[in-house]
Amino acid sequence: MSNKIPVGDSFDFPDTDTKSNSATKVIIYTGPLCNYCDAAKRLMARNNIQYKEINIANVEGAMDEMVEKANGKRTIPQIFFDDQHIGGYDEARALEKENKLQELLK
What is the distance between the terminal CA atoms of the chain, rounded to a whole angstrom?
36
CA distances to 22, 24, 88 from 17, in Å:
10, 12, 27
pTM, whole model, 2 decimals?
0.79
pLDDT given at position 104: 87
Distance CA(70)–CA(60), nearest Å, equals: 17
Say if residues 66 and 78 touch (Cβ distance below 8 Å): yes
Q: What are phi and psi of 84, to 5 degrees?
A: -85, 120
pLDDT-flagged residues of the chain (< 50) = 1-9, 13-22
pLDDT given at position 4: 43
pLDDT given at position 18: 36
